[in-house]
Amino acid sequence: MQQTLNLHDREELIAPLYQFDRKFWTTLAVLIVIITPGMLLYVRQLVLGLGVTDLNRPVFWGAYLVNFIFLIGISMAGTVISATLQLLKVNWRRPITRIAESLTVFGLMTAGLQIIMDMGRPDRLAFTLIYGRLQAPLLWDIASLTLYLLTAVFALYLQLIPDIALLRDTAPDTAPAWRKKLYSILSLGWTGAKEQWRRLEKAITVVSVFIIPIGISLHTVTSWLFSTTVQPGWKSTILGPYFVVGAIFSGIGLLFIATTFARQYNKHLKEYITEIFYTNLGWIFIVMSAVWFYFTLNETLVVVTEQETLEFPVMASKLFGQFAPAFWGMNILMIAATWILVAPKFVSDKPTRNPLLKTITGLGATAIAIIIFFLLWLRLPALAAPAIQTGLLIAFVLFLIFALLGITKWMKTRLITSTVIASAFVLFGMWLERWNILMPTLTHARLIPYTTYLPTVTEIAITISTFGILTLMFVVFYKFFPSISIWEVEEGRALENKSGG
């Protein structure tokens, strides 16, 4: 019979949990430095009032709400993807389920934090529970968020039980007593009896079935916060699925980044989280990007074509107005991310003679493209002639294509690096997407002159702080629990051996 947990695994996955080395403390210190300014500025906001932000009339919602939607989005993917893969019995999911599920929990917690930071009277938070009205979309969101958070914590905990029992049984003698006690309580007296395994797996399957609709409901309800109002740009029926697709898209992006971060942090994980995961989830990523482009085209084209008096100014501000940098920036980021993911699939990994596919060509073309961009941007009077401007624009696009072609080969050999770059692009692009949904509508009120909104230092610091808190939770949590579901990996190996031998 297949030997169960081998010593090798134990050394690599459990031993680091007790090593509070310099790397850990440095990470902690850096994170605290990142978090502190935002927290201090939040205290200032509490004392002075929300006026320290750039919110105004009619821009009553701002960066906090954008962060809220973004965090809800990244939180959705973790558990929903893990549950889907679980139900489909996909084997390469095993090493990443833990990270995915924990991201959900932490994402939801920080999302809740954003709502509290956005409230004018956070001291009256309990009023939403005492006087909650069923008609208000905000209450649907509270119900959905609470339910999803509880279910996600439960799913994470269920997956953790066998591993906690393992930690309880294998704790080194040097381990502090309170940690042993913690593991002993949390393991619920798990012995690994056959009946216990049977029940656990049953419970995990049932939770996986239920968590998918709950997750989708949360993001749909979040979109309903906007689409149930009568404001131009929001009252759209497509917003619900658009939010869900964007959520899964950005969630996969964060999952890639978090997994790679964990791999870099604990080098041993590279044996468990292999390139297979990057390749296979990469395909889902590509599909989601295609769906996302489809929805974006729907949102844009319909409004542009009908040119309705209220809706069109909102769209126009995105296409060529004050939100053009954010809108086109988002599109360029998404196109670049898709290219990074798709293009390497079309070239072979053998050395090439084609000069177009050489890295040096790519770097040269990038440099030239940047120079042309600045020439265009500076609007030199010597180059003001329309013919020259058009020529420069065409040259810019041409060299951009050369640059993209040139880096393809380089990316082909660096699957993980290129996936992480694409993920970062997608995450930033998705944040901009949320911004582009919220802000143009808010700044284009019906009876108030069009205004602008730019986050102040307070809002930027609190945003940075929020992502710091997310990382901090991640780092601290994985000092207490293994970042890989050990028993699931073992189970996978056992199944492989069974079918192979």
Partner 1 sequence: MTDWCMVIDLEKCVACQGCSIACRMENNTPVVSPEEAKNGRAIRWNDVFPLPVHFGPDQGEYPNVKTHYSTRPCMHCNNAPCVKVCPVQATFIDEEGIVRQNYNRCIGCRFCTVACPYGVRYFNWFEPQWEETLVEYRNPDQLSVNGSLEGPAVRPAGVVEKCTYCAHRLVKARERAKAEGREFRADEYVPACVQTCTGKARFFGDLDDPNSTVSQLSKSLRATHLLEDSGAHPKTLYLAEG
Partner 2 sequence: MNFPLEQPLFQFFYWLVNTPGVGAAVVGLLVGTAVTIFALTLRWIASAKSAEQESYPYPPQH
**Closest CB 181 distance from partner 1, rounded Å:** 40
Decide which of partner 1, partner 2, none touches 84; Cβ closer than 5 to 8 Å per partner kind: none
**Closest CB 490 distance from partner 2, rounded Å:** 5
Please say which residue, 393 or 457, places its beta carbon nearer to partner 1. Answer: 457
Cα separation of 75 and 59, whole Å? 26
CB atoms within 10 A of CB 56: 15
Say if residues 281 and 84 touch (Cβ distance below 8 Å): no
Q: Which range binds partner 1 by CB under 8 A, 222-230, 278-286, 396-404, 466-474? A: 222-230
**Closest CB 197 distance from partner 2, rounded Å:** 5
Task: Establish if 119 lies at the interface with partner 1 (CB under 8 A).
Answer: yes
Please say which residue, 8 or 23, places its beta carbon nearer to partner 2. Answer: 8
Please say which residue, 121 or 353, places its beta carbon nearer to partner 1. Answer: 121
Please say which residue, 205 or 417, places its beta carbon nearer to partner 2. Answer: 205
Cα separation of 493 and 176, whole Å? 32
The 3-class SS string of 281-298 reads HHHHHHHHHHHHHHHHHH
Decide: helix, strand or coil at residue 475: helix
Q: Between 139 and 168, how does the x/- string for binding to partner 1 read (CB under 8 A)?
A: x--x--------------------------
**Closest CB 109 distance from partner 1, rounded Å:** 19
Decide which of partner 2, partner 1, none touches 170; Cβ closer than 5 to 8 Å per partner kind: partner 2
- The correct pick among 121, 194, 353, 379 for binding partner 1 (CB under 8 A) is 121
**Closest CB 491 distance from partner 2, rounded Å:** 6
Listed in sequence order, the residues at least 6 apart from 24 whose beta carbon sits closer than 8 Å to its beta carbon are 475, 479
Which 359-418 positions form the footprint of partner 1 (CB under 8 A)? Answer: none
Please say which residue, 201 or 306, places its beta carbon nearer to partner 1. Answer: 306
Cα separation of 108 and 88, whole Å? 25
Q: How far is CA 276 from the centre of its chain?
A: 20
Report the C-alpha dihedral over residues 244, 424, 408, 332, rounded to 10 degrees. Answer: 70
Cα separation of 443 and 441, whole Å? 6
Task: Establish if 442 lies at the interface with partner 1 (CB under 8 A).
Answer: yes
Task: Establish if 445 lies at the interface with partner 1 (CB under 8 A).
Answer: yes
Task: Establish if 57 lies at the interface with partner 1 (CB under 8 A).
Answer: yes
Say if residues 471 and 258 touch (Cβ distance below 8 Å): no
Please say which residue, 55 or 71, places its beta carbon nearer to partner 1. Answer: 55
* Phi-psi sector, 280: left (phi>0), alpha (psi -120 to 50), beta: alpha
Say if residues 348 and 382 touch (Cβ distance below 8 Å): no
Please say which residue, 200 or 460, places its beta carbon nearer to partner 1. Answer: 460
How deeply is 276 buried, as exposed, middle or buried, from its count of CB atoms within 10 A (0-12, 13-18, 19+)? exposed
- The correct pick among 29, 30, 32, 48 for binding partner 1 (CB under 8 A) is 48
Cα separation of 65 and 160, whole Å? 32
Cα separation of 157 and 65, whole Å? 29
Q: Judged by CB under 8 A, how many residues of this single chain contact partner 1?
A: 45
Please say which residue, 25 or 60, places its beta carbon nearer to partner 1. Answer: 60
Task: Establish if 307 lies at the interface with partner 1 (CB under 8 A).
Answer: no
Please say which residue, 161 or 420, places its beta carbon nearer to partner 2. Answer: 161
Decide which of partner 2, partner 1, none touches 382; Cβ closer than 5 to 8 Å per partner kind: none
Decide which of partner 1, partner 2, none touches 89; Cβ closer than 5 to 8 Å per partner kind: none
How deeply is 353 buried, as exposed, middle or buried, from its count of CB atoms within 10 A (0-12, 13-18, 19+)? exposed
Phi, psi of 272 (to 5 degrees): -95, -50
Decide which of partner 2, partner 1, none touches 302; Cβ closer than 5 to 8 Å per partner kind: none
Q: Angle at Cα 378 formed by Cα 331 and Cα 430, nearest 5°?
A: 15
Q: Angle at Cα 133 formed by Cα 64 and Cα 112, nearest 5°?
A: 25
- The correct pick among 14, 16, 61, 100 for binding partner 1 (CB under 8 A) is 61
How deeply is 176 buried, as exposed, middle or buried, from its count of CB atoms within 10 A (0-12, 13-18, 19+)? exposed
**Closest CB 65 distance from partner 1, rounded Å:** 9
Please say which residue, 16 or 162, places its beta carbon nearer to partner 2. Answer: 162
Size of the chain in residues? 501
**Closest CB 147 distance from partner 2, rounded Å:** 6
**Closest CB 130 distance from partner 2, rounded Å:** 6
Question: Which residues contact partner 2 (rule: CB under 8 A)?
Answer: 1-2, 4-5, 10, 128-136, 139, 142-143, 146-147, 150-151, 154, 157, 161-162, 165-166, 169-170, 188-200, 203, 487, 490-491, 493-494
CB atoms within 10 A of CB 238: 13
Decide which of partner 2, partner 1, none touches 162; Cβ closer than 5 to 8 Å per partner kind: partner 2
> Which residues contribute to the site for partner 1 (CB under 8 A)?
48-51, 54-61, 115, 118-121, 124-125, 127-128, 130-133, 135-139, 142, 225, 228-231, 313, 442, 445-451
